[in-house]
Structure formats: structure tokens, C-alpha cells
Chain A
Amino acid sequence: MTRYASLAVTACLAAVAGLAFHRVFGVGPVAPVAAVAAVVPTVLSGLLSGPRKSGDPWPLWISLVLTVVAWAGTVTGTVLRPALADGTLPRALRDGVLSSWKAILTTLLPAPAEPEYLVLVSVVVWLAAFASAELALRTSLRAAPCVPALGGWAVALPLGVDGPGSNLPLAAAAVALTAVLVLLRADGPGADGPGAGVAWRPLAAGVPAAAVLGALAFAAGPVVPVGARPYDPREQVQAPPPQQRDGVSPLDRVGGWLLRPGEVMFTVRSGRPEQQRLAVLDRFDGVTWSSTARFVPTGSRVPEGPRPGERHEVEQHITIRDLPGVWVPAPDRPRRVEGLPVAVDPESGALAAGRPLRPGQAYRVTSVVPEWTAEDLAAAALATDAEARAALDLPWGPGATEPPVQIAEFRRFAEAATRGAGSPIEKAALLAEYLRRYAAYDVTAPPGHGYRQLDYFLSEGRRGTPEHFATAYALLARTIGLPSRVVVGFRGGQRAGDTVQVRSGDVLVWPEIKFEDLGWIRFNPLPDSGRRSKEDDSVAAGETEQKLEQAQKAAASQQRGEGPGQNAEKGPREPAAGGGSPTPWWVFTSVAAAVLVIGYVLAVLLAPALRKRRRRTGPPAARITGAWHQALDHLADVGLSTARTLTAHEVARFGASSVGADAHGHLGPLADLVNHSRFAASHPDPRAADRAWEHSDAVGRLVTARAGRVRRLRRRLHPRSLTGRSGGERRPPAGRRRVRSPGG
């Protein structure tokens, strides 16, 4: 009965390990797969464990073959049923087993519950359940059947480390189930092994204890000071190379869209108008701007960007109309996209579809829009990370052998425009303000944003579209050390019922500057004429944009009030005292060390006591052997180590020479008893076992009197207290007396 009860627990353990994949796929898709994969192999192993005619269990290889066949059938009939229908089963099965983990590692979580991905859950849980069941059936080890389930955890945890949700309840359940399993497989009194029957007494006392242990694990888990940032294998994985997602840069389309402003790009249904981002272009090669985004597939989640102090969340339902290309519009920093399979650039949050967008495609996007205050911006320093350094590049252009002369001119222009500005925010704001006043908005200006076109725009033309203003700003900013990039998006639109139609004329290009801790902050160098509402039913610029411009102006004026040059680039802001400060490493180290020390002390003190308790139980012969081992442990406390070539009486003689003559009066009879129990034809009776323990306890007392309690305690704290003597000969430490047989 214990065997089948153990099987139920191992199946639960495997299922719990499978549920740990919920951070990868969510609970809904994982639960049925884990349940099936945990139950079927366990039942199969249980059926095969029944006795054959010969009385022996079925060989392991038969179980192995049958479970592989059963798994293939089960996964085909459940997870891969769609693949079976469309004839792609072999490929799906192969990809699921061999490649799904790679795809999951390069997908933002939660990953889409594709059948090929769920095959991984099935195979891991199945293997864990099968191995656990076979261990429970074929061995008498108590805790070993839990180990395969740990293997399941070992796969699920790294894959889901970046996913939503928590595994704490599952871990608590696993702890409780493990404890139940160990208790269940504990030898009962007089039992010969786990198969002999359920040890009801320890089980009755232990199951509540296991529940309490699980509850404690659940309660203590969140407060245990572990590393704030767990190991994430995704950081070690090279994302797939960026694809050429769109033949035409959205920046190159801006001029055409502005000349045909009436085309409806997409419609937005939302309670709050927000500026829509389409493409983030951060690399300038001297002629064009392009994106270095490394898009990775995502189920729906988009990783979080910089965390602003104030922000608001906005949810929009967007329906594509005539928007070409693969770039997917979304307000500022999207967090979740549902209804459209997309890839995301984790750095910028830009979204892209796998194929060019088609009219009628609809999706719901939830975004977080930061609300920067003047105080945030006034204290901001420029970012100095790798991305910011790359955003300062001013390439000479394809094939150029010397720097273009325009760069120097742009630098002089920018320096003149920002003369008197001290802080980075002041420079950025002054540059935007300068451009707004310097040039006029004209949609008929010839498109292009290379050095020559921008030189013409800044020197002679002084008329341009948002393309010219934004790209000119970005280049000018780079010349004076402000890391910049260009973003193409849309703003405004025309209301039609409860939706807003965003048209081609609403396209907008804006530059962004990267600041330390704040991330990318957009600036608006476009003249007012270029962003006024053109029609009566147009949607005005959002509240967020207005607040940002006001904050930028206020921050710039604050800086000017302090005097130019007096508050030049500040270093990174000091972290605020309290909540945001990370816990020092030594706290974690100290707590971990304390936990280890306490655990070690408990282990070395408890292990001998448990070992002695175990030795005192069982049939008389086992109890006599236990008494002998206990006596040997006592002798070890006076520094006597024995070799396996010694006989019991030789050990008794050597023990007496170490402990004293009195000890021989106990060790000798004990040696006789152990010899009799081991080599005589008749079995010893319980009284003999009692006598053996009396002798052993007497030896213990003599050893304590000889060695002293302090020395015994010191030896008890040694790691060897954790190991029993049954492992065979032990090597004595240096300085420890070693007794060998006369010839050895």
C-alpha cells in the first residue's frame, strides 16, 4: 500500500514541478499538460509494477520502452493534435523536444502557448513522473523519488525566471509533498522496507508537520533575503539577428504622408489621446537613420523600461487601416499587446509584426506613459552607458575618407544655439527652442536627412518637415555631446464617433535625448505652425505632451536662474535614502552565513541522535549491530579509529586500552553479542539486544568521563557527525590514533 501511496505523492510532485512552467506560459495552458504528463506515466509504472507469474517485477527496460511509446501517443493526441491534423506532426515533435527551449529562451515571457512549446512541459513532467515512480517502486530510498521532480524544477525555474507570477506557493507545496513522501516511506516498527506497509504513526504525526513546514516555507519565502536579481539564462542567450523587417524606413515615408495627409493609417479607441510611437531610429550612418533594435518574439508582455516617478497607464484598441510596413504603433512604452503577434525590442519597447500589417488587423495595447516633472528634469544628468555612447556617433558617411565639413558647422550652430546653457536639460531645451524659431514648417520641403540636406535646411532653406527638424536636432545634439535618437510616430487625429482616426498627416518625428536614470526624453523642435490642429474635429495634442514641454521649460529656466555654467553636468543622482536603496551585500552574506551555521549545528547535533534512534529500532540482531556501531562512535570520540580488518574483540581490546580497563568489561561482552548475532546459527533474543545497548551506553558514559563533555561536543560538531559508520572504513584525521590489525 505504501508503494501506491508513494506513487500518488510522486505524481503530485511531478505535476507541481510542471506547474512551475506557469511563469513561462501562464497557468491555463500548463495545468492540463502537467496533469496528464504526471498521471499517465505514474499509472503506467504502477500497473507494470504488479507481480508477474514469476513473482518478479517487470524489467526496467520494458517500462522505459512502454513509457516512451505512451508519451508519444499522449502528446500526439493532446498537445500536438493540431499538428497531427495538418500533417506536420514529425516536425512539431522534433522541434518541441529539441528546439522549444531555445525558442522560449529567445521569447519574452509569457511565451505564447504554441503546441511545440508545450511539448517541452509534457516531456519534462513525464520524465520526472516516470523516474519518480520507478524510484518509488524499485528502491526503498525514502527521499530519492523526489529528486526527478527537482529536475523538473531545474528546467522550469530558469526558463521562467523573467516571467510573471510567483512560484512560492508551488515551492511550498513541493516541500510539503516531499515531507509527506519521506514520512510515507519511513520504515514502520518491524517493517522490512517501504513495501511492507504504511507507517501510520509517523505519518499521522508527520502529515500535519509537513503541512506546517509547507506553510512556513510559503510564509518565510518572501522575507528570505535572497539575491534581488536571480540568474536569468536569457542574459546569456544571443538573441536572433535582427531581420530586415521593412524595406522602407518610416522616416522616408514621412514626406509622402504629409503630402497626402488624408489617408487613414489606423484608428484608435481610447479614453485619452496619446502620442503614438511607430519606429525608433537610433543609428545614423551619415545618410539615413535606421534602427538597431533586436526584436525578440513575445506572447503579449513587453519588458518594463525605466521607471518614472509619476506615470499613468493607458489602454488603447487600435485597428490598422492603411499603415504600411511592419512597425506597430503604440503609445510610449507598451507593456502588453494582445490580439496581434508581435516582436519587441526590449531596449526601446518598439513593436514590430512578423509580416507587413494588413487593413483590419486589430489589437489592444496597454502602455505606461511617464509624466516627468521639472524637478526630475532639472536634476538629470546625461546618460553615459553604452547605448548613450553609441547615440553620440557622427559617422562620416558611406565611403567617406574624411569627416564632412558639415559636422563642424553643425557644432558651431549648436553651440551658438545653446550658448549660456549650463545643464544638459537646458542645452536640450534651448536647442529645441532655437530650432522652433529658426526654421519654418513646410510640408513641401524636399525630403532627406543626410548631412547635405540638413546643411541646406539649416543654412539656406530654413523650411522643413518634422523629418528635417527632428533629424537636424538629433545631429546638432550629438555635436555638443547630447546622446540623441529619432522617433517616428503620430500625434492627434480626427474623431469619428468613439474612435480617433489617425491619418498620414498626423505623422510626427521627434528627437529624444537620453538622461541618466530617466531614460529617453523627447523634445519638440517643431514650430507651432506644424502642430496646430488643422481641422475643427481634430484631436488636440495630448495632455502628456503639454506637461512635458512645460516641465522642460521650467527645468531650463531653473537652470538659467542659477547662472550659466554654475550647474554643469551633475553626476548621477544620489539614490534616495530609504526605499530605493539596495540592501548591502554583506547583509545577504551575513544572513546566509548565519542560516548555514545554524543549519549545520542543528544537523550535526540532530544527525547522531536520529542515527542512534534508528539503531535502537528493528529486530534484535539489527539492534545489537546498532549498539556496536554506537559504541564505535563513542570510541571515535576518544580519537580511536578502527580499520575494517579488525575483529570485534580486537576492537574491544584497543577500545579498552584507550578508554580504560572498565570499558573492556562492556566492550568484550558487546563484541560477543555482535559476533553471536552475526555468525551464530540461532537468532539473538530481545534481551540480548537490551544487554548490548546497556553495554554500549556504559561505554558512552565511560568515554564521556574519559574525554570530557567539551571534547565530545567539539567532536560532535565535526562534519563527520553527519555520516554514519556503515559506509565502511574512514580515514582518521591527522593526529588521530589509528588502530590497525597486527599485520597491517
Chain B
Amino acid sequence: MSESAGVDADALAGRFAQMFAALAGNIERVVRGKREKVELALVCLLAEGHLLVEDVPGVGKTTLARAISASIEAEWARIQFTPDLLPSDITGVSIFNQGTSAFEFHPGPIFANLAVADEINRGSPKTQSALLEVMEERRVTVEGTPHPVPRPFMVIATQNPVDMDGTYPLPEAQLDRFLMRISMGYPDHQAEVALLAGAPTGAMLDTMPPVLGREDLARMIDFAQRLHVAPPLFDYLVRVVAATRAHADLRLGASPRAGIALLRAARVRAAAAGRSYIVPEDVKALAVPVIAHRLIVTPEAELRGRSGADVVAEALGSVPTPQAAGV
């Protein structure tokens, strides 16, 4: 790339960063004290990935989805997973129209820009698997007819890590389709006080002005995925992913899809920082939320309190960065 092209890319990256910051700031007006989580969710959105939020009820998972959709002029839908939820409740059904004497497809809630799959692990495996196609291929096939979902499209799934009775743990294939897994966590004291003292969240969401249009969002997504990646970083990224596969505490390491997801997310993070290139910090910052939920820890390691996040952190600590020599 020529130097002028580099300057242009830097300028565009700066513009990207401004828009990203405005978006994050707008969402933070209602999701207070969670800037880092908000940014991770936006990274996930701009990387065209899906987000798994593992947390207790009432910490703002739905609010986050609504705030994002409001900020980008997008539609959102909420799907409450229960054991008797059917796949067609998600994807939609074809109903015979007596007037036209033809079957008409009635799209389900999954056809929103942001679909919140609340307590996804309460749905039956059959219902959970209804999400596999749409999460990966961004379309729903009903009765042999594919129906594409709108762009942007993002599934924000939640699950309660405390109450596990009557739940169906997500299979590996399902987990692998989530770009990131995060935990919202409780707000800190000041944020919670401000939450109580401020206006009701619901009312604010209704009046929240959009920051970006869908077209702007699509351009940001396209720009981020064209960011330059230096060859040593590919090598570094593969080494990090590969380091999990040989780890003694794991029954299943990270898949190549994990590496692809990490690279997409790192590109967005770099652009959000105003850079037209990614650096090792981007990879390190996103490795745990992107990789950890895809790993399956051995029962012995689990008994010792080890988690996938620990393994990823170890991998990061053992793989040399492709930094200038001497670091």
C-alpha cells in the first residue's frame, strides 16, 4: 500500500473511531458503568458476530440489545426460550392464505436486526439448533425456501449460570457460532446509584436518538474487515489458537473458526482505536472473550477450578508476541 493510501486509511480509521465512540457513548447513557462490555458488544456487532451473555437476570442484557438497536435504527426482537418453545416460534411459519390460495411465510422474531435469545439454555436442543443455520449463514430455510435475515444481524443470547435446573447446555457447535461470550456483571456502586437516581431506563430507550443509520453501519463493517494485517500477526494468532489445542487441561481446543473470529474482532477493535492496522494488543485483548467459551475443560481440571479463560491466558503468556525483537 502506498503512503498516501496509508494516510487515507488512517483518516478513515479515525472517522471509524469517532463513530464507534459516539455509538458506545450513546449506549452507555442507558447501560451505565459498562463501557468495556458495551464496546465488546459493539465489536461483536461490527464483526458481524453473535454475542453470548452469561449472567444473572436484571443486569441489563436486554437493555443492551435495545440500546444498540435504538442507536442504529435497527429492529430488535426478544425470544424467551422455554422447554416448550418450538423452532417455528423462532424462524416463522408458512400459513395458507385462502385469499391467494397460497402458503405465505410469516417470519418469526429471528428476522429482526438484533434478536435477543433470552435464557437460551432453557430451550430444547431441537429449538436451540434452529439457530444454527441463521447464525452461520444468515438465512432461514423453511419448507425448502431460504429466507435471508436483514443486515446487520446479531443474536444476543443470554443464559443464567446459577439456575441450571431444567436447562439444556448449548452444544459445542452452537457455542462455536458465538463470536464472543461476555458477562455483564453488576454495576459498581456509583453507577448503580446513578441508575436509581436517573430517569427510568425504559423511557430513555424510547427517546434515545439513533447515532448511525444502517448504511453507516454496513460501511463500518466493510471498512473494518479490510484493515491491514501484518504477516507476523497471522502467525501469532495461529500460535495462540494452536497453543490451546495441546493444553493438558482441555478436552477440546479452539477450532480454526475461533482464529477467524478472533481476527475479525481484532480488526474491529483496531479500527475502533483509530488504527488502520491491528497490533498484538488487539489480539490479546479479545482472545479470552472470543476463544474461552469454545474450549472444553477436562473434568479433572474443572475440579481444580480451571476454566477456559485460564487456559487462554496461559496461551497468551507462552506465545511470544511478534513485536519488535527484544520485547
Contact = CB atoms under 8 A, between A and B. Distances in A.
Contacts of B9: 681-682
Contacts of A650: 281, 284
Given A644-B320, A679-B230, A679-B278, 11 more contacts: A645-B316, A645-B320, A647-B279, A648-B279, A679-B233, A680-B6, A680-B230, A682-B1, A682-B6, A728-B325, A741-B317
B315 A743 contact: yes
A682 B319 contact: no
Contact of A681 (B6, B317, B326): B6
Contact of A678 (B7, B230, B276, B316): B230
Interface centre among A645, A679, A740 (most CB of B within 10 A): A679
Contacts of A676: 277
Contacts of A628: 324, 326-327
Interface in B8-26: 9-10
A675 B233 CA distance: 12
A740 B317 contact: yes
A743 B3 contact: no
Contact of A648 (B276, B277, B327): B327
B313 interface: yes
Interface in A686-706: none
Contacts of A683: 3, 6
Interface string A720-732: 0000011011000
Contacts of A682: 1-3, 5-7, 9-10
Contact of A632 (B275, B316, B317, B327): B327
Given A625-B324, A728-B325, A675 B279 contact: yes
B37 interface: no
B94 interface: no
The 4 closest A-B pairs by CB, nearest first: A682-B6, A744-B317, A743-B313, A743-B317
A455 B200 CA distance: 140
Interface in B306-327: 310, 312-327
Contact of B317 (A645, A649, A651): A645
Contacts of B321: 644-647
Nearest to A621: B324
Nearest to B316: A743
B327 A742 contact: no
A674 B279 CA distance: 10
A680 B324 contact: no
B147 interface: no
A650 B317 CA distance: 12
A680 to B, nearest CB: 4
Interface centre among A647, A674, A726 (most CB of B within 10 A): A647
A681 B276 contact: yes
B230 A645 contact: no
A317 interface: no
A642 interface: yes
Q: How large is the interface on A (under 10, 10 to 19, 20 to 34, 35 or more residues)?
A: 20 to 34
Contacts of B169: none
Contacts of A726: 325-326
B239 to A, nearest CB: 11
A629 interface: yes
Contact of A644 (B1, B279, B327): B327
Nearest to B287: A743
A743 B40 CA distance: 20
B228 interface: yes
B324 A648 contact: yes
Contacts of A679: 228-230, 232-233, 277-279
10 contacts: A625-B325, A645-B319, A647-B323, A648-B279, A675-B279, A676-B277, A678-B230, A680-B277, A682-B2, A725-B325
B292 to A, nearest CB: 12
A359 B313 CA distance: 96
Contacts of B232: 678-679
Contact of A742 (B2, B5, B313): B313
A642 B325 CA distance: 11
Nearest to A726: B325
Interface string B275-314: 1111111001000000000000000000000000010111
B324 A674 contact: yes
A744 B324 contact: no
B18 to A, nearest CB: 18
A57 B230 CA distance: 30
A647 B326 contact: no
A679 B7 CA distance: 14
A628 B9 CA distance: 25
A742 to B, nearest CB: 6
Nearest to B281: A647
Contacts of A649: 281
B277 A681 contact: yes
Contacts of B3: 682-683
Nearest to A626: B324
A741 B318 CA distance: 8
Contacts of B319: 645
A149 B229 CA distance: 47
Interface string B192-233: 000000000000000000000000000000000000111011
A513 to B, nearest CB: 75
Interface string A659-681: 00000000000000011111111
A280 B281 CA distance: 88
A264 to B, nearest CB: 86
Contacts of A742: 313, 316-317
A646 B327 CA distance: 6
Given A645-B319, A678-B230, A681-B228, A743 B326 contact: no
Contacts of A632: 326-327
Nearest to A642: B327
Given A645-B319, A645-B321, A744 B314 contact: yes
Interface in B110-138: none
A648 B315 contact: no
Interface in A12-36: none
Contacts of B278: 679
A677 B230 CA distance: 11
A743 B319 CA distance: 10
B228 A629 contact: no
A641 to B, nearest CB: 11
B6 A647 contact: no
B316 A741 contact: yes
A740 B317 CA distance: 7
Contacts of A728: 325-326
B263 to A, nearest CB: 13
Contacts of A642: 326-327
Contacts of A741: 284, 316-317
Interface centre among B5, B280, B322 (most CB of A within 10 A): B280
A523 B181 CA distance: 109
B10 to A, nearest CB: 8
A675 B5 CA distance: 18
Contacts of B6: 680-683
Interface centre among B275, B322, B323 (most CB of A within 10 A): B323
A453 to B, nearest CB: 89
A722 to B, nearest CB: 16
A364 to B, nearest CB: 69
Contact of A680 (B276, B280, B284): B276
A644 B324 CA distance: 9
Interface in A608-654: 625, 628-629, 632, 642, 644-651
Interface in B214-272: 228-230, 232-233
A743 B314 contact: yes
B48 to A, nearest CB: 23
Contacts of B281: 647-650, 675
Contact of B327 (A647, A740, A743): A647
A479 to B, nearest CB: 82
Interface centre among A629, A632, A743 (most CB of B within 10 A): A743
Given A646-B321, A678-B230, A629 B279 contact: no
Interface centre among B228, B232, B319, B326 (most CB of A within 10 A): B326
Contacts of A743: 310, 312-318
